[in-house]
Amino acid sequence: MEISASTRLLAVIGDPVTHSLSPAMHNAALRALGLDAVYVALPTPADALPPVLAALAVVGGSGNITVPHKEAAERCLARKTDLCARVGACNTFWTERGELVGDNTDVPGVLACLRQLGVDGARRWLLVGTGGAARAVAVAAAELQAEVHPARGALEPEVAINATPLGLKETDPLPLDPARTERLSAALDLVYCRGGTPWVRALRAAGIPAHDGREMLVQQGIAAFGRFFPGHAPPVEIMRAAVNRALRA
């Protein structure tokens, strides 16, 4: 891919962000479709978020927001979708007429993952976390008319979801002890890492079906790609293969 003055810039913004596989996933999609664009990672401390987003708006940039900036990014937008406003957090943005527009594609990502696990009909969810990703989980639960309980308040949950960064490091404590959830049908960890997160490995060892965040990344990425390039169908299998390949490397 040759980069020129006409190449469109896309970026994932976070702190930390070097672990993100969004560049690998989206660049694979861009190459497959022959689009003149490049996707990069921009490590951005909290105080730099507003000027970085403002600069991207000036150059017509688009991209994604990851931890810990999703809620702060929502306040930097000129316009936002109804879903973004409901969540109070932005993970996807693009530029229209020099203004930043934001959406939240974490919600459809969560819904798609739970459908794959076969538990989108579950009515009792246990949620670990309170940030932007947790807000998206709560809105997803509302769409399915499910009850959401915090980690210490759930009674016999059917689904458990980790919406914290726990698991990025092998030494992190587990978000929830699998032994505490005797009737759990399935679990979703929004974190991903090579070999699977310690929590997902522990859940599977206990016989509980669980997905880590790689499919969540793909599903929210599919929705985001539609915002970045509305005239192009996202190459789903190429995006999924790029993520899986990066996690095997």
Answer whether 163's CB lies under 8 Å from 134's CB: yes
For 127-181, the pLDDT digits (tens) are 999 999 999 999 999 999 999 998 776 678 999 999 999 998 889 999 988 887 7
CA torsion angle 83 88 193 184 (round to 10): -80
Domain 8-104+217-248 identical in fold to domain 107-212: yes
Name the CATH topology of 107-212: Rossmann fold (3.40.50)
- CATH class of the domain comprising 8-104+217-248: alpha beta
Is-contact 165 191, C-beta < 8 A?
A: yes
Q: What is the per-residue pLDDT for 2?
A: 84
Residue 70 falls in the annotated catalytic set: yes
Residues 25, 20: Cα–Cα separation, whole Å: 10
Query: For the chain, what are the domain ranges?
Result: 8-104+217-248, 107-212
Judge whether 127 and 137 are in contact, CB under 8 Å. Answer: yes
Q: Kindly report, residue by residue over 41-67, the tens digit of the pLDDT.
A: 999 999 999 999 999 999 999 999 999
**Catalytic option among 70, 80, 124, 211:** 70
Locate 107 and state its tokens: 């919600």
